[in-house]
């Protein structure tokens, strides 16, 4: 009976925490604003991809320019805006070391927490919080 009561409380808390509708906001925008924003970002991306050194590197990596233009055309407005805003800061074929280091740090922290809680015994330098 006690387990059912605890599960009911947890279920109610979860439903209340995630089930409430969020308020929606709407506003009217003009056609000129929509077309100007959409086309300027896509033009910036296309002009970047049309540069000779970028096209040469893409061809060297086996990327078809026609396929790339189709993908740019398929971007959503938000994706095009984000890409156009960060196109000058993006690394050219980054090596992914930061992603690997981040994943290793995350795994280390998770294992450290489980060691401290006494659920695992991976690191010899930790002792469980409770006995």
Residue-range domain boundaries for the chain: 30-89, 102-131
Please state, in angstroms and as integers, the Cα–Cα distance from residue 82 to each residue in 3, 78, 88, 89, 94, following that order: 48, 6, 11, 11, 18
Q: What is the pLDDT of residue 11?
A: 81
pTM above 0.75, yes or no: no
Contact 50, 43 (CB under 8 A): no
Q: How many CA atoms lie within 13 A of 120 on its CB side?
A: 10
CA distances (Å), origin 90, targets 81, 87, 93, 129: 14, 6, 9, 44
* Sequential pLDDT tens for the chain (131 residues): 788 888 888 887 777 767 656 677 777 877 776 666 556 778 888 888 888 888 888 888 888 878 888 888 788 778 888 888 877 676 665 556 677 788 888 888 888 888 888 888 888 888 887 75
User: Are 74 and 67 contacting, i.e. CB atoms less than 8 angstroms apart?
Assistant: no
Burial label, 54 (beta-carbon count in 10 A; 0-12, 13-18, 19+): middle
Expressed in angstroms, the distance from the first to the final Cα of the chain is 28
For residues 68 and 55, the answer to whether their CB atoms sit within 8 Å is: no
């Amino acid at each position: 009976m006690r387990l059912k009561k605890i599960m009911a409380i947890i279920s109610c808390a979860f439903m209340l925490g995630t089930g409430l509708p969020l308020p929606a906001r709407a506003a009217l925008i003009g056609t000129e604003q929509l077309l100007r924003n959409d086309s300027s970002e896509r033009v910036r991306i296309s002009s970047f991809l049309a540069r000779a050194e970028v096209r040469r590197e893409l061809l060297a990596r086996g990327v078809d320019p026609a396929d790339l233009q189709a993908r740019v055309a398929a971007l959503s407005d938000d994706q095009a805006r984000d890409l156009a805003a960060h196109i000058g800061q993006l690394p050219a074929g980054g090596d992914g070391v930061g992603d690997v280091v981040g994943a290793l740090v995350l795994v280390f922290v998770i294992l450290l927490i489980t060691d401290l809680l006494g659920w695992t015994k991976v690191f010899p330098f930790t002792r469980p919080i409770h006995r």
